[in-house]
């Protein structure tokens, strides 16, 4: 391939990675724009820019589906525009405001219909959602149905089932949220869900090629940096990081952009359809992917019939025995109508919208 003689070494390195899809990271180059005006409440400015996306360390498996193929490689160059991002995931009290204002019923609160599930017997059509239930003994980690159970009556107001509630949990992440629920909230709030590329750019916090959103060491100076799982999975969450199970937002330090829980605590919906081979497709195209929106349609060879979108960030269930998805750049996925008690979301807002709002005020 012909390369202009004037291209410097750094540029050449980027070029090689983008074209061949290597496993090497090149530096993050932030867009040279300052934040456009005053931050909307609870949001921080993410400058956007060009960065190396994906994860070099690719384990098999995820919280939802063990033995998944390596989907977070190859590392490829991506550019995203700047945007505002919620500093935390959406909390129970924020979602309550939305539910009160709109009367919106989440997927888990709706009784499944005969049209949706034509072959299911009528007595099985009960509103509910999926809950993590620890096993009472050690199990082989090859079948996630051992620890995921459909619980009738589980929904965002009752995250672990009918006997659980949100008392004192105002600042906890809202969970049991299906994709359409997250979308509906975002629309109401005048925001949208992040693309997978926006999420990863933001998660990296200005760093490049680090293992975690805060650096390369899991516990710098012995400090816990994210809510993950300690102890034998899926039997007992030892909670050595201070939390067995979910934690209130802002319980751990923010990343370089001031974003909390970009790794661990709860998985977060992104707007991209999930395709195992999407990064391969981008890398083969070469160059820099500009504001990638994800593939046109979903495809997960592990469950080809299911329409899945991307999850990011990992959760309080993530651990080094099973799925280290708190490693930045790794990916998750989920069927769009399925919520769980470790899945939430946060929103983003493009800069232009905010500029227009400001312009109108003046
Ligand atoms: Ca924990
Ligand atoms: Cu996990």
Higher pLDDT, 160 or 141: 160
Which ligand is closest in space to the CA of residue 332?
Answer: 2
Collapsed DSSP state (helix, strand, coil) of residue 246: coil
Q: What b/e readout covers 266-301, taking b as 16+ CB neighbours within 10 angstroms?
A: bbbbbbbbbbbebbbebbeeeebbeebebbeebbbe
| pLDDT mean over 23-28 | 87
How would residue 2 be classed by pLDDT, with cut points 50, 70 and 90?
Answer: very low
How would residue 302 be classed by pLDDT, with cut points 50, 70 and 90?
Answer: confident
Cβ proximity of 61 and 322 under 8 Å: yes
Q: Which two tokens stand for residue 285?
A: 């195209």
- Residues 292 and 287: their CA atoms lie apart, in Å, by 12
Backbone phi and psi for residue 201, each to the nearest 5 degrees, phi listed first: -55, -45
pLDDT, residue 68, reads: 41
Which residues, including other chains, have CB under 8 Å from residue 332's CB and lie 6 or more apart?
A: 62, 63, 64, 267, 310, 311, 312, 313, 314, 325
How would residue 3 be classed by pLDDT, with cut points 50, 70 and 90?
Answer: very low
| pLDDT mean over 137-162 | 94
Which ligand is closest in space to the CA of residue 261?
Answer: 1
Strands 308-312 and 43-46: unpaired
Q: Which two tokens stand for residue 98?
A: 């939305």
- Residues 263 and 312: their CA atoms lie apart, in Å, by 8
Which segments of the chain are extended strands (E)? Answer: 29-30, 43-46, 49-53, 76-80, 83-86, 128-132, 148-152, 267-273, 289-290, 308-312, 332-335, 343-344, 348-350
How would residue 144 be classed by pLDDT, with cut points 50, 70 and 90?
Answer: confident
> How far is the centre of ligand 2, averaged over its atoms, from the C-alpha of 1 (Å)?
41
Is the per-residue pLDDT at 29 higher than 60? yes
Of all residues in the chain, the percent with pLDDT exceeding 70 is 87
> How far is the centre of ligand 1, averaged over its atoms, from the C-alpha of 227 (Å)?
4
- Residues 155 and 160: their CA atoms lie apart, in Å, by 8
Which ligand is closest in space to the CA of residue 265?
Answer: 1
- pTM, rounded to two decimals: 0.89
Each residue of 313-345: pLDDT tens digit? Answer: 999 999 988 888 999 999 999 999 999 999 999
Question: Interhelix angle for 179-188 vs 92-102, to 10°?
Answer: 80
Collapsed DSSP state (helix, strand, coil) of residue 44: strand
pLDDT, residue 10, reads: 36
Is the per-residue pLDDT at 99 higher than 50? yes
> How far is the centre of ligand 1, averaged over its atoms, from the C-alpha of 326 (Å)?
12
> How far is the centre of ligand 1, averaged over its atoms, from the C-alpha of 356 (Å)?
41
DSSP 8-state assignment for residue 290: E
> How far is the centre of ligand 1, averaged over its atoms, from the C-alpha of 197 (Å)?
27
* Ion ligand 1: residues, Cβ under 5 Å: 227, 241, 243, 316
Distance of CA 69 to the CA centre of its chain: 18
């Amino acid at each position: 391939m012909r390369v202009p003689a004037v291209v410097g070494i750094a540029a050449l390195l980027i070029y090689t990675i983008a074209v061949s899809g290597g496993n090497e990271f090149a530096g993050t180059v932030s867009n040279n724009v300052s934040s456009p005006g005053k931050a909307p409440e609870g949001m921080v400015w993410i400058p956007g820019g060009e960065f190396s996306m994906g994860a070099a360390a690719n384990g098999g498996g995820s919280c939802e589906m063990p033995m998944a193929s390596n989907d977070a490689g190859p590392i490829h160059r991506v550019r995203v525009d700047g945007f505002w991002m919620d500093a935390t995931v959406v909390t129970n009290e924020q979602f309550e405001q939305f539910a009160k204002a709109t009367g919106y019923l989440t997927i888990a609160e709706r009784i499944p219909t005969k049209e949706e599930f034509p072959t299911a017997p009528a007595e099985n059509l009960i509103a509910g959602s999926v809950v993590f239930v620890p096993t009472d003994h050690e199990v082989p980690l090859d079948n996630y149905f051992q620890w995921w159970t459909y619980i009738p009556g589980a929904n965002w107001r009752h995250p672990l089932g009918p006997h659980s509630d949100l008392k004192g949990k105002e600042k906890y992440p809202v969970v049991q949220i299906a994709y359409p629920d997250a979308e509906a909230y975002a629309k109401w709030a005048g925001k949208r869900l992040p693309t997978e590329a926006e999420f990863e750019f933001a998660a990296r916090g200005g760093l490049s090629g680090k293992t975690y959103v805060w650096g390369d060491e899991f516990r710098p100076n012995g400090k816990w940096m994210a809510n993950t799982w300690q102890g034998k999975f899926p039997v007992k969450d030892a909670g050595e990081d201070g939390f067995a199970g979910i934690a209130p937002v802002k319980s751990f330090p923010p990343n370089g952009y001031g974003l909390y829980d970009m790794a661990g605590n709860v998985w977060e919906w992104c707007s991209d359809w999930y395709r195992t081979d999407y990064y391969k497709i981008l890398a083969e195209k070469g160059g820099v992917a500009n504001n990638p929106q994800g593939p046109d349609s979903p495809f997960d060879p592990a469950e080809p019939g299911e329409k899945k979108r991307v999850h990011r960030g990992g959760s309080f269930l993530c651990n080094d025995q099973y799925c280290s998805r708190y490693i930045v750049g790794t990916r998750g996925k989920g069927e769009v109508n399925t919520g769980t008690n470790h899945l939430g979301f946060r929103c983003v807002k493009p800069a232009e919208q905010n500029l227009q709002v400001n312009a109108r005020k003046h």
